[in-house]
Amino acid sequence: MIALCALAESALGFPIAPQPSAQVGADKLQADFTGATGEIFQSFKDECGLPSGLHIEPGSLALLENPGFPGAGMNASAITPFQTVLKDGFMKVECVKDMMFSQGDKHGPNKHSYNQGQISGVSIILYDEYVAKLDRKPMTQKVCFDFCRTVPNMGFFGVINGRHCYCTPFYKAQASDSSMCDAPCDGSPNTMCGGKEKSMVFAMHFCDDSAQVLAAAIAKGNTTAGSLLTKCGLVDGLAADTMAIADYLQPQFGAVGDSVATTNLQKAKTTAGLMLRDSYKACVNGSQGSLATAVTDAQGAAAGVLIAEKHTRDINAKVETAKAAEDRMDALIAQAQNAQDVGNSSLDYYPLVYFIDKDLLNASDPLANSTKVPSTCGGKAVGKSMIATNKDSCASACNAAVGGCVGFQYFESLAKPTANLCLLFGEFKSISYYTGCGAAGPYSFLQQRQTTEEDMLNAPYEATCYGKFSKFQGLSLKKISKKMNRCYQVPA
Protein backbone atom coordinates (compact mmCIF):
# COMPACT_ATOMS: atom_id res chain seq x y z
CA MET A 1 0.00 0.00 0.00
CA ILE A 2 1.31 3.48 -0.90
CA ALA A 3 0.82 4.89 2.58
CA LEU A 4 2.61 2.01 4.25
CA CYS A 5 5.53 2.28 1.83
CA ALA A 6 5.93 5.95 2.72
CA LEU A 7 5.58 5.45 6.45
CA ALA A 8 7.94 2.46 6.43
CA GLU A 9 10.65 4.24 4.43
CA SER A 10 10.37 7.26 6.72
CA ALA A 11 10.74 5.12 9.83
CA LEU A 12 13.51 2.88 8.50
CA GLY A 13 15.60 5.68 7.13
CA PHE A 14 16.01 4.43 3.57
CA PRO A 15 13.85 4.86 0.45
CA ILE A 16 11.14 2.37 -0.40
CA ALA A 17 9.65 2.91 -3.84
CA PRO A 18 6.15 1.47 -4.22
CA GLN A 19 5.74 -1.01 -7.03
CA PRO A 20 3.76 0.47 -9.97
CA SER A 21 1.44 -2.54 -9.92
CA ALA A 22 0.33 -1.92 -6.33
CA GLN A 23 -3.20 -0.67 -6.90
CA VAL A 24 -5.11 0.47 -3.82
CA GLY A 25 -8.89 0.88 -3.79
CA ALA A 26 -10.11 4.45 -3.34
CA ASP A 27 -12.37 3.52 -0.44
CA LYS A 28 -9.51 1.60 1.23
CA LEU A 29 -7.09 4.49 0.70
CA GLN A 30 -9.64 6.88 2.14
CA ALA A 31 -10.24 4.66 5.15
CA ASP A 32 -6.50 4.31 5.84
CA PHE A 33 -5.60 7.97 5.61
CA THR A 34 -8.79 9.38 7.11
CA GLY A 35 -8.24 7.24 10.19
CA ALA A 36 -4.67 8.52 10.55
CA THR A 37 -4.97 12.17 9.48
CA GLY A 38 -8.63 13.12 9.36
CA GLU A 39 -8.11 14.25 5.76
CA ILE A 40 -10.71 13.75 3.05
CA PHE A 41 -9.95 11.75 -0.08
CA GLN A 42 -10.58 13.92 -3.15
CA SER A 43 -11.81 11.82 -6.06
CA PHE A 44 -11.86 12.63 -9.78
CA LYS A 45 -12.65 9.23 -11.29
CA ASP A 46 -14.60 10.71 -14.21
CA GLU A 47 -11.38 12.29 -15.53
CA CYS A 48 -9.40 9.04 -15.82
CA GLY A 49 -7.95 8.45 -19.26
CA LEU A 50 -8.70 11.96 -20.54
CA PRO A 51 -6.05 14.21 -22.16
CA SER A 52 -4.21 16.25 -19.54
CA GLY A 53 -4.30 19.59 -21.39
CA LEU A 54 -0.79 20.35 -20.14
CA HIS A 55 1.68 22.12 -22.42
CA ILE A 56 5.16 20.76 -21.79
CA GLU A 57 8.45 22.45 -22.63
CA PRO A 58 9.63 20.43 -25.69
CA GLY A 59 13.28 20.54 -24.60
CA SER A 60 12.71 19.23 -21.08
CA LEU A 61 15.48 16.81 -20.12
CA ALA A 62 12.90 14.43 -18.68
CA LEU A 63 11.61 13.76 -22.16
CA LEU A 64 15.04 13.20 -23.67
CA GLU A 65 16.51 10.63 -21.27
CA ASN A 66 16.16 6.92 -21.99
CA PRO A 67 15.71 5.02 -19.81
CA GLY A 68 15.19 5.88 -16.16
CA PHE A 69 13.57 9.35 -16.03
CA PRO A 70 11.13 10.68 -15.14
CA GLY A 71 9.94 8.34 -12.46
CA ALA A 72 10.91 4.85 -11.33
CA GLY A 73 11.76 2.66 -14.32
CA MET A 74 10.48 5.18 -16.88
CA ASN A 75 11.44 4.48 -20.50
CA ALA A 76 10.86 7.61 -22.52
CA SER A 77 10.79 5.71 -25.81
CA ALA A 78 7.92 3.54 -24.64
CA ILE A 79 5.86 5.95 -22.51
CA THR A 80 4.67 9.44 -23.33
CA PRO A 81 4.28 11.36 -20.07
CA PHE A 82 2.18 14.40 -19.21
CA GLN A 83 -0.61 13.58 -21.68
CA THR A 84 -3.02 11.07 -20.10
CA VAL A 85 -4.66 11.18 -16.69
CA LEU A 86 -3.44 8.15 -14.69
CA LYS A 87 -4.65 8.94 -11.13
CA ASP A 88 -8.19 9.53 -9.95
CA GLY A 89 -7.76 11.05 -6.49
CA PHE A 90 -5.45 12.30 -3.79
CA MET A 91 -5.25 12.71 -0.04
CA LYS A 92 -2.91 14.52 2.32
CA VAL A 93 -0.42 12.26 4.06
CA GLU A 94 1.70 14.51 6.28
CA CYS A 95 3.80 17.66 6.58
CA VAL A 96 7.51 16.80 6.42
CA LYS A 97 10.88 18.07 5.35
CA ASP A 98 11.21 15.78 2.36
CA MET A 99 14.68 14.53 1.45
CA MET A 100 13.48 13.89 -2.09
CA PHE A 101 12.84 17.60 -2.69
CA SER A 102 16.39 18.59 -1.74
CA GLN A 103 18.37 15.51 -2.82
CA GLY A 104 16.16 13.66 -5.29
CA ASP A 105 16.04 16.26 -8.09
CA LYS A 106 18.23 15.11 -10.96
CA HIS A 107 17.57 17.94 -13.42
CA GLY A 108 16.19 20.92 -11.49
CA PRO A 109 17.74 23.61 -9.31
CA ASN A 110 18.96 21.05 -6.76
CA LYS A 111 20.62 18.75 -9.27
CA HIS A 112 24.04 19.30 -7.66
CA SER A 113 22.69 17.75 -4.43
CA TYR A 114 21.15 14.75 -6.23
CA ASN A 115 22.14 11.47 -4.53
CA GLN A 116 19.51 8.96 -5.64
CA GLY A 117 21.29 7.66 -8.72
CA GLN A 118 22.92 4.75 -6.87
CA ILE A 119 20.25 4.44 -4.18
CA SER A 120 16.88 4.27 -5.90
CA GLY A 121 17.54 5.29 -9.50
CA VAL A 122 14.63 7.75 -9.56
CA SER A 123 14.13 11.48 -9.58
CA ILE A 124 11.39 13.91 -8.69
CA ILE A 125 9.78 16.06 -11.38
CA LEU A 126 9.28 19.78 -10.79
CA TYR A 127 6.19 21.50 -12.16
CA ASP A 128 8.12 24.67 -13.03
CA GLU A 129 10.72 22.75 -15.00
CA TYR A 130 8.32 20.97 -17.34
CA VAL A 131 5.18 23.07 -17.77
CA ALA A 132 5.53 25.86 -20.34
CA LYS A 133 5.83 29.21 -18.57
CA LEU A 134 2.79 30.75 -20.24
CA ASP A 135 0.71 27.73 -19.25
CA ARG A 136 1.63 27.66 -15.59
CA LYS A 137 -1.18 28.31 -13.17
CA PRO A 138 -1.09 29.83 -9.69
CA MET A 139 -0.28 26.86 -7.48
CA THR A 140 -2.96 24.92 -5.62
CA GLN A 141 -3.11 21.36 -4.40
CA LYS A 142 -5.33 20.49 -7.39
CA VAL A 143 -2.97 22.16 -9.88
CA CYS A 144 -0.07 20.07 -8.59
CA PHE A 145 -2.21 16.94 -8.63
CA ASP A 146 -3.32 17.62 -12.23
CA PHE A 147 0.34 17.76 -13.21
CA CYS A 148 1.63 14.74 -11.27
CA ARG A 149 -1.32 12.50 -12.04
CA THR A 150 -0.11 12.25 -15.65
CA VAL A 151 3.38 10.95 -14.78
CA PRO A 152 3.75 7.15 -14.70
CA ASN A 153 5.12 5.53 -11.55
CA MET A 154 4.61 8.57 -9.33
CA GLY A 155 2.69 7.72 -6.17
CA PHE A 156 2.96 11.07 -4.35
CA PHE A 157 3.15 14.80 -4.96
CA GLY A 158 4.38 17.57 -2.71
CA VAL A 159 3.85 21.32 -2.51
CA ILE A 160 6.22 23.64 -0.67
CA ASN A 161 6.39 27.34 0.16
CA GLY A 162 3.00 28.04 -1.39
CA ARG A 163 4.14 27.77 -5.01
CA HIS A 164 6.49 24.87 -5.75
CA CYS A 165 5.12 21.51 -6.90
CA TYR A 166 6.94 18.23 -7.47
CA CYS A 167 6.04 14.60 -8.20
CA THR A 168 7.83 11.71 -6.48
CA PRO A 169 7.57 7.90 -6.36
CA PHE A 170 8.13 8.05 -2.59
CA TYR A 171 9.07 10.53 0.10
CA LYS A 172 11.47 10.47 3.02
CA ALA A 173 11.03 12.60 6.11
CA GLN A 174 14.17 14.28 7.45
CA ALA A 175 14.85 15.75 10.86
CA SER A 176 13.53 19.30 10.96
CA ASP A 177 12.27 22.09 13.19
CA SER A 178 8.78 22.52 14.59
CA SER A 179 7.54 24.76 11.81
CA MET A 180 4.20 24.00 10.18
CA CYS A 181 2.89 23.69 6.65
CA ASP A 182 1.16 27.03 6.89
CA ALA A 183 2.09 28.71 3.60
CA PRO A 184 -1.09 29.64 1.65
CA CYS A 185 -1.30 28.37 -1.90
CA ASP A 186 -0.68 31.13 -4.46
CA GLY A 187 -3.82 30.11 -6.32
CA SER A 188 -6.00 29.40 -3.27
CA PRO A 189 -5.09 31.47 -0.20
CA ASN A 190 -7.60 29.59 1.94
CA THR A 191 -5.68 26.29 1.57
CA MET A 192 -2.12 25.49 2.53
CA CYS A 193 0.68 24.46 0.18
CA GLY A 194 3.47 23.40 2.49
CA GLY A 195 5.78 25.64 4.49
CA LYS A 196 9.03 27.46 3.90
CA GLU A 197 11.10 24.34 4.53
CA LYS A 198 8.50 21.59 4.70
CA SER A 199 6.47 19.83 2.04
CA MET A 200 2.80 19.01 2.30
CA VAL A 201 2.83 15.48 0.86
CA PHE A 202 -0.18 13.88 -0.82
CA ALA A 203 -0.76 10.27 -1.88
CA MET A 204 -2.39 9.63 -5.26
CA HIS A 205 -4.76 6.80 -6.13
CA PHE A 206 -4.42 5.00 -9.43
CA CYS A 207 -7.20 5.24 -11.98
CA ASP A 208 -9.71 2.45 -11.86
CA ASP A 209 -8.40 -0.86 -13.04
CA SER A 210 -10.74 -2.73 -10.73
CA ALA A 211 -11.97 -5.11 -13.43
CA GLN A 212 -8.44 -6.26 -14.28
CA VAL A 213 -7.42 -6.44 -10.62
CA LEU A 214 -10.54 -8.45 -9.79
CA ALA A 215 -9.91 -10.78 -12.72
CA ALA A 216 -6.38 -11.38 -11.45
CA ALA A 217 -7.72 -12.01 -7.94
CA ILE A 218 -10.29 -14.48 -9.29
CA ALA A 219 -7.58 -16.34 -11.23
CA LYS A 220 -5.36 -16.43 -8.15
CA GLY A 221 -8.31 -17.56 -6.04
CA ASN A 222 -9.14 -20.39 -8.42
CA THR A 223 -5.52 -21.53 -8.52
CA THR A 224 -5.13 -21.45 -4.75
CA ALA A 225 -8.47 -23.17 -4.13
CA GLY A 226 -7.60 -25.89 -6.65
CA SER A 227 -4.16 -26.44 -5.14
CA LEU A 228 -5.57 -26.65 -1.63
CA LEU A 229 -8.26 -29.10 -2.74
CA THR A 230 -5.63 -31.34 -4.35
CA LYS A 231 -3.53 -31.36 -1.19
CA CYS A 232 -6.56 -32.07 0.97
CA GLY A 233 -7.24 -35.06 -1.29
CA LEU A 234 -3.69 -36.32 -0.79
CA VAL A 235 -3.99 -35.93 2.99
CA ASP A 236 -7.32 -37.78 2.91
CA GLY A 237 -5.75 -40.60 0.88
CA LEU A 238 -2.80 -40.99 3.25
CA ALA A 239 -5.12 -40.93 6.26
CA ALA A 240 -7.44 -43.50 4.69
CA ASP A 241 -4.50 -45.82 3.91
CA THR A 242 -3.24 -45.48 7.48
CA MET A 243 -6.67 -46.15 8.94
CA ALA A 244 -7.22 -49.15 6.68
CA ILE A 245 -3.99 -50.99 7.48
CA ALA A 246 -4.17 -50.17 11.20
CA ASP A 247 -7.78 -51.37 11.34
CA TYR A 248 -6.74 -54.59 9.61
CA LEU A 249 -3.70 -55.31 11.79
CA GLN A 250 -4.87 -54.23 15.22
CA PRO A 251 -7.26 -57.12 15.99
CA GLN A 252 -4.75 -59.68 14.72
CA PHE A 253 -2.02 -58.52 17.09
CA GLY A 254 -4.58 -58.10 19.83
CA ALA A 255 -5.49 -61.78 19.40
CA VAL A 256 -1.90 -62.85 20.10
CA GLY A 257 -1.56 -60.58 23.12
CA ASP A 258 0.80 -58.02 21.59
CA SER A 259 -0.25 -54.91 23.51
CA VAL A 260 2.70 -52.83 22.27
CA ALA A 261 1.76 -53.41 18.63
CA THR A 262 -1.93 -52.71 19.26
CA THR A 263 -1.04 -49.48 21.10
CA ASN A 264 1.16 -48.32 18.22
CA LEU A 265 -1.57 -49.15 15.73
CA GLN A 266 -4.11 -47.24 17.80
CA LYS A 267 -1.80 -44.22 17.77
CA ALA A 268 -1.58 -44.53 13.99
CA LYS A 269 -5.38 -44.51 13.77
CA THR A 270 -5.52 -41.44 15.99
CA THR A 271 -3.02 -39.66 13.74
CA ALA A 272 -5.11 -40.57 10.71
CA GLY A 273 -8.23 -39.24 12.40
CA LEU A 274 -6.55 -35.92 13.15
CA MET A 275 -5.41 -35.67 9.54
CA LEU A 276 -8.97 -36.19 8.32
CA ARG A 277 -10.21 -33.59 10.78
CA ASP A 278 -7.69 -30.98 9.61
CA SER A 279 -8.40 -31.75 5.97
CA TYR A 280 -12.13 -31.36 6.60
CA LYS A 281 -11.56 -28.01 8.27
CA ALA A 282 -9.41 -26.83 5.39
CA CYS A 283 -11.41 -28.02 2.42
CA VAL A 284 -14.95 -29.02 3.35
CA ASN A 285 -15.89 -26.65 6.12
CA GLY A 286 -13.24 -23.96 5.93
CA SER A 287 -10.66 -22.18 3.82
CA GLN A 288 -11.07 -23.90 0.46
CA GLY A 289 -14.85 -23.75 0.46
CA SER A 290 -14.86 -20.15 1.67
CA LEU A 291 -12.41 -19.11 -1.05
CA ALA A 292 -14.34 -20.96 -3.75
CA THR A 293 -17.55 -19.24 -2.62
CA ALA A 294 -15.85 -15.83 -2.70
CA VAL A 295 -14.65 -16.48 -6.25
CA THR A 296 -18.11 -17.62 -7.35
CA ASP A 297 -19.73 -14.56 -5.77
CA ALA A 298 -17.24 -12.26 -7.51
CA GLN A 299 -17.84 -13.89 -10.89
CA GLY A 300 -21.56 -13.26 -10.57
CA ALA A 301 -21.34 -9.78 -9.05
CA ALA A 302 -22.81 -6.66 -10.60
CA ALA A 303 -20.48 -4.20 -12.29
CA GLY A 304 -19.07 -1.29 -10.33
CA VAL A 305 -15.73 -0.07 -9.00
CA LEU A 306 -16.56 -0.30 -5.31
CA ILE A 307 -18.22 -3.70 -5.75
CA ALA A 308 -15.18 -5.00 -7.65
CA GLU A 309 -12.78 -3.64 -5.05
CA LYS A 310 -14.84 -5.22 -2.25
CA HIS A 311 -14.74 -8.64 -3.95
CA THR A 312 -11.02 -8.25 -4.66
CA ARG A 313 -10.28 -7.58 -1.00
CA ASP A 314 -12.51 -10.47 0.05
CA ILE A 315 -10.79 -12.91 -2.31
CA ASN A 316 -7.30 -11.72 -1.39
CA ALA A 317 -8.02 -12.12 2.32
CA LYS A 318 -9.40 -15.62 1.79
CA VAL A 319 -6.42 -16.52 -0.42
CA GLU A 320 -4.10 -15.74 2.49
CA THR A 321 -6.21 -17.91 4.81
CA ALA A 322 -6.23 -20.69 2.21
CA LYS A 323 -2.45 -20.48 1.87
CA ALA A 324 -2.11 -20.97 5.62
CA ALA A 325 -4.36 -24.03 5.34
CA GLU A 326 -2.26 -25.22 2.41
CA ASP A 327 0.86 -24.92 4.54
CA ARG A 328 -0.86 -27.11 7.14
CA MET A 329 -1.69 -29.71 4.46
CA ASP A 330 1.93 -29.63 3.26
CA ALA A 331 3.07 -30.32 6.82
CA LEU A 332 0.66 -33.26 7.15
CA ILE A 333 1.80 -34.70 3.81
CA ALA A 334 5.45 -34.38 4.84
CA GLN A 335 4.59 -36.08 8.13
CA ALA A 336 2.69 -38.97 6.55
CA GLN A 337 4.97 -39.92 3.67
CA ASN A 338 8.66 -39.76 2.94
CA ALA A 339 9.62 -36.86 0.69
CA GLN A 340 12.28 -38.72 -1.30
CA ASP A 341 12.95 -42.45 -1.28
CA VAL A 342 16.53 -43.57 -1.80
CA GLY A 343 16.97 -46.98 -3.35
CA ASN A 344 18.59 -49.73 -1.25
CA SER A 345 18.49 -47.61 1.91
CA SER A 346 17.08 -50.58 3.81
CA LEU A 347 20.30 -52.57 3.26
CA ASP A 348 21.80 -50.58 6.15
CA TYR A 349 19.10 -51.89 8.50
CA TYR A 350 18.93 -55.39 10.00
CA PRO A 351 15.95 -57.10 11.67
CA LEU A 352 16.24 -56.53 15.42
CA VAL A 353 15.99 -60.31 15.87
CA TYR A 354 19.53 -60.45 14.45
CA PHE A 355 20.75 -58.62 17.58
CA ILE A 356 18.77 -61.00 19.83
CA ASP A 357 19.50 -64.47 18.40
CA LYS A 358 21.38 -64.77 15.11
CA ASP A 359 20.60 -68.48 14.97
CA LEU A 360 16.98 -67.66 14.17
CA LEU A 361 18.06 -66.02 10.93
CA ASN A 362 20.22 -66.96 7.98
CA ALA A 363 23.53 -65.54 9.13
CA SER A 364 24.74 -65.09 5.56
CA ASP A 365 21.63 -63.13 4.56
CA PRO A 366 19.65 -61.90 7.60
CA LEU A 367 17.37 -59.75 5.46
CA ALA A 368 16.01 -62.85 3.69
CA ASN A 369 14.33 -64.13 6.87
CA SER A 370 12.23 -61.15 7.79
CA THR A 371 8.90 -62.95 7.31
CA LYS A 372 10.04 -66.12 9.11
CA VAL A 373 10.66 -64.43 12.45
CA PRO A 374 8.39 -61.38 12.56
CA SER A 375 8.78 -58.78 15.29
CA THR A 376 7.08 -55.74 16.77
CA CYS A 377 8.63 -53.07 18.93
CA GLY A 378 7.98 -50.08 21.14
CA GLY A 379 10.03 -47.16 22.29
CA LYS A 380 10.64 -43.49 21.70
CA ALA A 381 8.82 -42.50 18.53
CA VAL A 382 10.25 -40.12 15.95
CA GLY A 383 7.43 -38.27 14.24
CA LYS A 384 4.10 -39.89 13.42
CA SER A 385 3.10 -43.03 11.55
CA MET A 386 3.88 -42.96 7.83
CA ILE A 387 2.64 -44.62 4.67
CA ALA A 388 5.60 -46.19 2.87
CA THR A 389 5.89 -47.62 -0.62
CA ASN A 390 8.43 -50.18 0.64
CA LYS A 391 11.16 -50.72 3.22
CA ASP A 392 13.51 -48.39 1.36
CA SER A 393 10.95 -45.64 1.94
CA CYS A 394 10.99 -46.31 5.70
CA ALA A 395 14.79 -46.43 5.77
CA SER A 396 15.06 -43.21 3.76
CA ALA A 397 12.69 -41.48 6.17
CA CYS A 398 14.70 -42.71 9.14
CA ASN A 399 17.94 -41.49 7.58
CA ALA A 400 16.40 -38.06 6.92
CA ALA A 401 14.57 -37.72 10.25
CA VAL A 402 15.50 -34.99 12.66
CA GLY A 403 15.72 -36.44 16.13
CA GLY A 404 18.11 -39.35 15.85
CA CYS A 405 16.14 -42.16 14.25
CA VAL A 406 17.79 -45.55 14.92
CA GLY A 407 15.25 -47.88 13.33
CA PHE A 408 11.68 -48.52 12.27
CA GLN A 409 8.71 -50.86 12.47
CA TYR A 410 7.49 -52.03 9.08
CA PHE A 411 4.02 -53.49 8.53
CA GLU A 412 3.36 -54.88 5.07
CA SER A 413 -0.01 -54.20 3.46
CA LEU A 414 -1.63 -57.12 1.64
CA ALA A 415 -4.48 -54.99 0.28
CA LYS A 416 -2.38 -52.20 -1.21
CA PRO A 417 1.30 -52.99 -1.85
CA THR A 418 2.30 -49.32 -2.03
CA ALA A 419 0.57 -48.39 1.25
CA ASN A 420 2.63 -50.10 3.92
CA LEU A 421 2.81 -48.75 7.46
CA CYS A 422 6.02 -47.39 8.93
CA LEU A 423 6.82 -46.22 12.47
CA LEU A 424 10.16 -44.54 13.21
CA PHE A 425 11.98 -44.87 16.53
CA GLY A 426 14.76 -42.94 18.20
CA GLU A 427 15.10 -45.61 20.90
CA PHE A 428 13.82 -49.16 21.30
CA LYS A 429 12.46 -50.14 24.72
CA SER A 430 10.73 -53.44 23.93
CA ILE A 431 10.83 -56.06 21.18
CA SER A 432 8.44 -58.99 20.66
CA TYR A 433 9.54 -61.62 18.17
CA TYR A 434 7.38 -64.45 16.83
CA THR A 435 8.72 -67.98 16.56
CA GLY A 436 5.40 -69.70 15.99
CA CYS A 437 4.88 -69.08 12.29
CA GLY A 438 5.47 -72.60 10.86
CA ALA A 439 4.84 -75.34 8.29
CA ALA A 440 1.92 -77.07 9.99
CA GLY A 441 -0.03 -73.88 10.62
CA PRO A 442 -2.08 -71.99 10.97
CA TYR A 443 -1.63 -72.31 14.73
CA SER A 444 -3.61 -70.74 17.51
CA PHE A 445 -1.72 -68.14 19.48
CA LEU A 446 -1.53 -70.54 22.48
CA GLN A 447 0.23 -73.31 20.58
CA GLN A 448 3.92 -73.78 21.29
CA ARG A 449 6.34 -75.03 18.66
CA GLN A 450 10.00 -75.52 17.91
CA THR A 451 11.81 -72.54 16.39
CA THR A 452 14.44 -74.23 14.25
CA GLU A 453 14.86 -72.44 10.94
CA GLU A 454 13.95 -75.42 8.76
CA ASP A 455 10.63 -75.79 10.60
CA MET A 456 9.54 -72.20 10.00
CA LEU A 457 7.68 -70.83 7.01
CA ASN A 458 6.72 -67.28 6.20
CA ALA A 459 4.24 -65.30 8.25
CA PRO A 460 1.12 -64.21 6.29
CA TYR A 461 2.68 -60.77 5.83
CA GLU A 462 5.77 -58.98 7.03
CA ALA A 463 5.80 -57.27 10.40
CA THR A 464 9.42 -56.52 11.26
CA CYS A 465 11.40 -54.12 13.39
CA TYR A 466 14.64 -52.95 11.80
CA GLY A 467 17.62 -51.21 13.37
CA LYS A 468 20.60 -49.44 11.87
CA PHE A 469 23.40 -51.99 11.73
CA SER A 470 25.93 -49.27 12.57
CA LYS A 471 24.04 -48.46 15.79
CA PHE A 472 23.57 -52.00 17.10
CA GLN A 473 26.54 -53.94 15.74
CA GLY A 474 28.11 -55.89 18.56
CA LEU A 475 25.20 -55.20 20.94
CA SER A 476 22.64 -57.61 22.35
CA LEU A 477 18.98 -56.64 22.63
CA LYS A 478 17.93 -59.74 24.61
CA LYS A 479 17.20 -57.74 27.75
CA ILE A 480 14.38 -55.81 26.09
CA SER A 481 13.07 -58.72 24.01
CA LYS A 482 10.12 -61.04 24.48
CA LYS A 483 9.81 -64.36 22.69
CA MET A 484 6.32 -65.10 21.33
CA ASN A 485 5.87 -68.85 20.63
CA ARG A 486 2.91 -68.20 18.35
CA CYS A 487 1.98 -66.47 15.11
CA TYR A 488 -0.52 -63.81 14.15
CA GLN A 489 -3.13 -64.96 11.65
CA VAL A 490 -5.04 -63.47 8.76
CA PRO A 491 -8.80 -63.50 9.51
CA ALA A 492 -10.66 -66.41 7.92
Summarize pLDDT for 227-243 with one digit per residue, the tens: 999 999 999 999 999 99
pTM over 0.75? The answer is no
- Which tops the pLDDT comparison, 368 or 26? 368
Other beta carbons less than 10 A from residue 43's beta carbon: 16
Question: What does the pLDDT average to over 153-170?
Answer: 91
pLDDT of residue 491: 79
d(CA 146, CA 137): 11
Closest CA relative to residue 136, chosen from 50, 44, 58, 53:
53
d(CA 295, CA 303): 15
As a whole number, the mean pLDDT across the chain is 79
Rounded to 10 deg, the angle between the 210-255 and 259-279 helix axes is 160
- Least confident residue range of 50-64, 274-288, 299-313: 50-64
Question: What does the pLDDT average to over 32-52?
Answer: 52
d(CA 479, CA 301): 72
Cβ 386 vs Cβ 425: under 8 Å: no
Cis check for the bond before 184: say yes or no (omega within 30 of 0).
no
Q: Is the pLDDT assigned to residue 484 strictly greater than 60?
A: yes
pLDDT of residue 277: 95
Query: What residues contact residue 458 under an 8 Å CB cut-off, 6+ apart?
Result: 371, 372, 437
Cβ 52 vs Cβ 82: under 8 Å: yes
Cα 268 off chain centre by: 28
pLDDT of residue 189: 94
- Least confident residue range of 367-371, 386-390, 406-410: 367-371
Torsion of CA 82, 87, 89, 90, to 10 degrees: -70
- Least confident residue range of 114-128, 238-252, 259-273, 389-403: 114-128
pLDDT of residue 108: 80
pLDDT category at 270 given cuts 50, 70, 90 is: very high
Q: Is the pLDDT assigned to residue 427 strictly greater than 60?
A: yes
pLDDT category at 50 given cuts 50, 70, 90 is: low
Percent of the chain with pLDDT over 70: 74
Cβ 434 vs Cβ 374: under 8 Å: yes
d(CA 444, CA 70): 89
